[in-house]
Chains A and B, each alone.
Chain A
């Protein structure tokens, strides 16, 4: 296995007059969980499609598992596209086997594994059912299992959490972690900050086709100084001059960025000024704040709007699997 599962330099993709991806650089270490975080239309899907060789970049280079011709290593890669798709008339286990066969797994072996995987994920009873009769969540699980059936070294997931209820989102998170524990590289795109924050060792923040940041979540958060939240007996007094210039009142609190000099000189000044400190907390900025700082307010607003839209709930609020709408039936051969 190469040290980096994916390397991309200066990727550019132009659709008409729009530069959908504009000079993207990415390095995904082998065996890591890597997230591409950005709002819809930021260029996440196009970047992934270029990495996989579905579309060729107009400029730039990329290597996938050591080759610049991604289809040559297709057998070692699993891919879950954003727009899910299965043949409606196929049985669930057969759909998994077919996706494995596309990537070199013998059909008989794929069928055996398909049944076992469905059993393992609590869908054993659905193995012989046609995809068209499955609920949307079940169909998505079938497709995800089809992505994994051939034991890929690299898994590429495009918005894997979209459309999943909280229970299935939690299941998917556990599945991604399990794959990473086996040494598999996982790269996924998302517009949900919480997923990236919880799962990823490294992230790339993408907005407007550009990647202004790549690194660990911690490095992203370190882009901002910690925030201090101070509660005093009264909101004003002679000690007020000791507060930094960016201090802003928030109810009974003062909020400001932790000074470069640290908290001790400030504390000393507040005590000497008899400020009557009730409480003081120093909070490290979250990834959302880092995203605002790195990608800009417009991208952050888009991201916020998208996160409020879907039925996202944190994995702590998991409930039993809901029977969603049936998998949308489309004309089959």
Chain B
């Protein structure tokens, strides 16, 4: 193992120096400006879609006749104005309605409509009350159906935080974090595809393969590219911070994630590294089969499509915490970093992240072994070695 790491270090050091000290690296640093703009646009579209999907929900705590009337009024109004314009009412029994807004209860209500139709009360945060007081007042009047000539006032009670608003805010953080992670991974991991072409065109692969295990070549190249990516990210982060500082309060602040910003950022870096290594090791294995830049370009398309699929899976599951699809996204290695980062934004619990990072790294090692084995078999034509199969060969000595 020590020899493997030593050899990986030699390869990584050479690759890293070759990239960082090349003129092309400067252009690489400029590269993300354009996709970043596209990413921001895509993020806002995604946010809009998410808002449409995750409609505002209010708890309805009233006696049975009033409740039925309110639900009928809601259905009638939704029919006239459209579903999206009228908040969803969920009939609920609760002795203390404001407890329904406690995030720890696991509910996701923006507010509570309680009391009676004659004397209704809206409980929620100031911003939610401000936003929904009008539509809900209209709904109460419709439910009363002219019970008295004078309209009743909708009393309000403000609470500091509601579970729904907190959840939605964190959802936004989760989505932004996920989009950023996907963007960076797509931008950087794809570069690994062409990584071994240089060695093959320069005939250096023979020298490398005779001196160190193929696993070490793969590992070294992957970590060199990761280090290069981290330097790029650090540069872009500094630029972004500069831009934010210049913009002052002009930019909207993201709501704090469930784990808190420091841990969320640390997890973001860790999940980026894992997403990069996972996709990178897969692409390295695939790209190693290519002998020309043209072949690499041909391979890029299915690789990018694969990345998008992993992103869609993680993105789809972001509003379905704990559901089977979200669990699948968290476990499936290629979507796991994205799904887990979304979790970090929405849930405080830490240990699943440690488990996920370990799981993801195990897959990185497995993919490197598999890629190296494939490379030996298909490129170096070192096939039927002792008639071992591809899978069995993964566990053989490199």
Contacts and interface: CB of A to CB of B under 8 A. Distances in A.
Q: Do A and B bind each other?
A: yes
B211 A74 contact: yes
A167 to B, nearest CB: 24
A85 interface: yes
Contacts of A54: 206, 209-210, 380, 382
A332 B212 contact: no
Nearest 10 pairs of A and B residues by beta carbon:
A85-B203, A56-B385, A55-B382, A333-B18, A102-B211, A85-B204, A81-B206, A83-B203, A79-B210, A330-B202
Interface stretch (A86-94, A181-189, A237-245, A262-270): A86-94
A8 to B, nearest CB: 15
B342 to A, nearest CB: 35
Contacts of B13: 107
Contact of B210 (A53, A69, A98, A101): A53
Contact of B10 (A55, A69, A90, A101): A101
Interface majority SS on A: helix, strand, loop or mixed? loop
Interface of B: 6-7, 10, 13-15, 18-19, 22, 197-199, 201-213, 293, 376, 380-386, 397-398
Nearest to A81: B206
A58 B206 contact: no
Contact of A333 (B198, B210, B211, B212): B198
A86 B206 contact: no
Interface string A64-99: 000001010010010101011111111000000011
A98 B205 CA distance: 13
B336 to A, nearest CB: 30
Given A79-B211, A107-B10, 13 more contacts: A55-B382, A56-B376, A58-B385, A74-B210, A83-B203, A85-B202, A85-B207, A87-B204, A99-B211, A104-B6, A107-B13, A330-B198, A333-B19
B206 A85 contact: yes
A102 B212 contact: yes
B212 A81 contact: no
Given A332-B22, A333-B15, A71 B398 contact: yes
A191 interface: no
A55 B381 contact: yes
Given A54-B382, A102-B7, A87 B210 contact: no
Contacts of B198: 87, 330-333
A83 B398 CA distance: 24
Given A56-B382, A56-B386, A102 B10 contact: yes
B202 A52 contact: no
A133 to B, nearest CB: 15
A58 B10 contact: no
28 contacts: A14-B384, A49-B210, A54-B206, A54-B382, A55-B376, A55-B381, A56-B376, A56-B384, A58-B385, A74-B211, A74-B212, A79-B207, A81-B206, A85-B199, A85-B206, A85-B207, A87-B18, A87-B198, A89-B22, A98-B10, A98-B14, A99-B207, A99-B211, A104-B6, A107-B10, A330-B201, A333-B22, A333-B198
A102 B208 contact: yes
Contact of A71 (B15, B212, B380): B212
A103 interface: yes
Nearest to A146: B207
Contacts of B397: 69
Contact of B207 (A57, A81, A88, A333): A81
A102 B8 CA distance: 9
Among B15, B198, B203, B213, the one with the most A-chain Cβ atoms within 10 Å of its Cβ is: B203
Contacts of A101: 10
Interface string A290-333: 00000000000000000000000000000000000000001111
B10 to A, nearest CB: 5
A327 B208 CA distance: 20
B373 to A, nearest CB: 11
Contacts of A107: 10, 13
Nearest to A14: B384
B381 A15 contact: yes
A107 to B, nearest CB: 8
B386 to A, nearest CB: 7
Contacts of A332: 18, 22, 198, 202
B213 A71 contact: yes
Contacts of B7: 102
Contacts of B197: 331
Contacts of A330: 198, 201-202
Contacts of B6: 104
A223 B2 CA distance: 51
B18 A89 contact: yes
Contacts of B204: 85-87
**Best-buried of A56, A74, A81, A101 by chain B (most CB within 10 Å):** A56
B122 to A, nearest CB: 63
Contacts of A83: 203, 206
A99 B10 CA distance: 10
A57 B10 CA distance: 28
B210 A81 contact: yes
